[in-house]
Amino acid sequence: WCEEIAPGAVVLHGFVRDHGPELLAAVNAVVAQVPWRHLTTPGGFTMSVAMSWCGNGWTSDSQGYRYSARDPGSGRRWPVIPDILMALADEAAQRAGFGHFVPDACLINRYDPGSKLSLHQDKDEHDFSAPIVSVSLGLPAIFQFGGLQRNDRTQRIPLAHGDVVVWGGPSRLCFHGIMPVKEGFHSLVGSHRINITLRKAR
Ligand code: MD3
Ligand code: FE
């Protein structure tokens, strides 16, 4: 079912529950070309979350993070976003009331037990009028969702395998994070949580 947890933030519970195998195959195809990596934050910490991407990807340099169409190491374009993810992004955005959505960047996060994502805003995209579609696979997690100020109170939202959340409108710039993922085993994904976010970066 469809639940609006804040203005512009819509949880589509179980939206892709029956599509785990195809989605994982798409993830694995991207990861075969862009192996999991642990980025260093501008503050010098190594992230506990492992990342891969397609479409536009992250480049970090002395200025911080940027989206780029090419791997600065090889000069080659990042892999294209798999069709199944483009289709899912559009269907989820429409279901949530945002109309057609054509993302140009896809970040894939892998959480092992204990991995977390500290409270942050996503503001490196050029167009905040486009929503972000996020897909949760594997182990469950507790999502923290705050306001426009880091110190605003946060709500905790459990996210399970197959849940899709669409973040747009007034929620697009809200602070958010993921609490440390608990130890566990998912029959399809194993001891991981995978999160796919589809975005319009440029
Ligand atoms: C709310 N990922 O990659 S997805 C991220 O589960 C990120 O891996 C988390 O935050 C994860 O940046 C959360 C849900 C999400 C993504 C983007 C948002 C929620 C958001 C942007 C604005 C508001
Ligand atoms: Fe984020």
Q: Which two tokens stand for residue 82?
A: 């798999």
Instruction: Determine whether the shortest distance from the Cβ of 111 to ligand 1 is under 6 A.
Output: no
Residue corresponding to tokens 């989820």:
92
Quick check: CB of 166 below 6 Å from ligand 1? no
List pLDDT tens digits, range 45-85: 999 999 999 999 998 777 778 899 999 999 999 999 999 99
Dump strand ranges (E) for the chain: 2-6, 9-12, 50-55, 57-61, 64-68, 105-111, 117-120, 132-138, 141-145, 155-159, 164-167, 176-178, 193-199
Q: What interface predicted TM-score (ipTM) does this complex get?
A: 0.97
Ligand 1 closest atom vs CA 176? 1
Q: Output the CA 197–ligand 1 centroid distance in Å.
A: 7
Task: List the CATH number of the domain containing 142.
Answer: 2.60.120.590
Residues of the domain holding 164? 2-199
3-state secondary structure of 85: helix
Q: Find the 66 Cα to ligand 2 centroid distance in Å.
A: 14
Q: What is the per-residue pLDDT across 177-200, written as a single tens digit (0 to 9) for each?
A: 999 999 999 999 999 999 999 999
177 CA distance to ligand 2 middle (Å): 7
Q: What is the pLDDT of residue 99?
A: 97
For residue 94, the model assigns a pLDDT of 98
Nearest CA to ligand 1 atom 12: 122
Q: In the beta sheet, which residues pair with residue 178?
A: 117, 143
State the total domains in the chain.
1
